[in-house]
Amino acid sequence: MERRTFLMGAGLVSMGARAANDTVGIGVIGLGGRGRDHLKYYSELPGARVVAICDVNQAQTERATQIVGKLGGSQPHVHQDLRKLFEDKDVDAVSIATPNHWHALATIWACQAGKDVYCEKPACYNIFEGRAMEAAARNSKRMVQIGMQGRSLAHKQRAMDLLHSGAIGQVYMARGICFKRRPSIGHTPAEPVPPGLDWDLFLGPAPMREYTKNRYLYNWHWFWDTGNGDIGNQGIHEMDLARRGLGRDLPKSAVSTGGKYVYEDDQETPNTQIATFDYGDAEIVFEVRGLNTGGEPGIPASGPNFVGVTFFGSKGFMAVDEHGFQIFLGDKREPGESMKPAEGEIDDTIPHMANFLKAVKSRNPADLTADVSVGVTSAALVHMANISYRVGRKLNYDSASGNFAGDDQANAMMTRPVYRSPYLVT
């Protein structure tokens, strides 16, 4: 408690010393492929400067230091422990590109230290952590943007406006697909932790496990300790879009089935999954498929992948993905309004980060296109699906209590059985 009080006080002094129109000092936490993208994007945005970097792996911080230098920035402060970065008075805001299991705790600690937060998707590793990070953002009055970048793209904003104005009539279904080809990860044995890697800090709130290559780097996505499967990796973008198009929050019930098919490897999460969310007068149907597959009408291929959302209404349907949207009307499926991304909008992260910086300076959470509450709600659908899949039954959600009605096993899975000290989410 004493440490948290100190962090909050130090951070608030730092924020108070910076005038509203000054450059925002950014600390990037997690320097794998996505974190290195963050370094590049912030270097292209006026009003932002990377002043600190942090990773549990010394090799990653060394590489990132070189990248920041080549991008024209001064040498950043280097940290291996994110708690030290939160004490850095030059850091006004943090940009989190860690594995999922660190998203909530890193955000909570950052908020308590007086830092604003850009956090990659999904907002949280489980439902309990999402509620805790939302409370931390509100209590500290920090700006927290979740990396669901599609919310800052013009063609998706236009598509949502059309849906909500009745362009395809009453919308009764959103069907999201995440058909993203994923090869087998094979088997990797336990081995000594590589030099320069703080394995305890990497695992953080997760249970202690022996180090294996598959539990580190990208493949942590496919282990329940640290990831949420592809429904919480790529799929969260489409899940958020589906929920946004329907204009709904949490459903009355959720059910998910599937399995890990074909491969015999270390992966724990399913590579084939179907989830249905019932809202009474509408539903979301979501499908994950990591194996060889064909596509679906209206969603074009991106190599071997088909990723997008189709909305069905009383007057027609609309297909939306990264390539644009197209409306089809009536029984003859006559083409209606369509839109492609504007030139220069192929990468959706820069406008999303620009939106975050705008809110950092305005101090108005309403300026955020993917505020923490939005991200936590969409992530909850992912967690509901995975809990249903793991317990093997339909879940009935009671919005009044925030629990699954009459299902102690499912309710217990809203959080971890235990958090390792000192990595406690409270």
pLDDT tens sequence across 83-106? 999 999 999 999 999 999 999 999
**Using one digit for the tens of pLDDT, what is the confidence trace for 57-69?**
999 999 999 999 9
**d(C-alpha 122, C-alpha 233), whole Å:** 7
**d(C-alpha 172, C-alpha 224), whole Å:** 32
**Which residues are CB-contacts of 36 (< 8 A; sequence separation ≥ 6)?**
63, 64, 67
| Contact predicate 137/144, CB 8 Å | yes
Check pLDDT > 70 for residue 12. Answer: no
**Which residues are CB-contacts of 82 (< 8 A; sequence separation ≥ 6)?**
29, 54, 106, 109
Average pLDDT, the chain: 94
**Using one digit for the tens of pLDDT, what is the confidence trace for 355-398?**
999 999 999 999 999 999 999 999 999 999 999 999 999 999 99
pLDDT band with cut points at 50, 70 and 90 for residue 74: confident
Which of 63-67, 72-76, 319-323 is the least confident region? 72-76
Concatenated DSSP letters for 181-223?
A: -----------PPPTTB-HHHHHTTSPP----GGGSGGGGGGS
Q: Which residues face 317 on adjacent strands? A: 312, 328
| Contact predicate 415/129, CB 8 Å | yes
**Which residues are CB-contacts of 84 (< 8 A; sequence separation ≥ 6)?**
54
Superfamily of domain 2-150+349-371, CATH level 4: NAD(P)-binding Rossmann-like Domain (3.40.50.720)
- Out of 3.40.718.10, 2.60.40.1180, 3.30.70.141, 3.30.360.10, which CATH number does the structure's domain 152-341+378-412 have? 3.30.360.10
**Percent share of the chain, pLDDT over 70:** 94
**Using one digit for the tens of pLDDT, what is the confidence trace for 273-298?**
999 999 999 999 999 999 999 999 88
Residues of the chain within CATH 3.40.50.720 domain(s) are 2-150+349-371
**d(C-alpha 361, C-alpha 129), whole Å:** 27
**Using one digit for the tens of pLDDT, what is the confidence trace for 25-68?**
999 999 999 999 999 999 999 999 999 999 999 999 999 999 99
Check pLDDT > 80 for residue 3. Answer: no
Say what the pTM is.
0.94
Check pLDDT > 80 for residue 18. Answer: no
Q: Return the pLDDT at 344.
A: 64
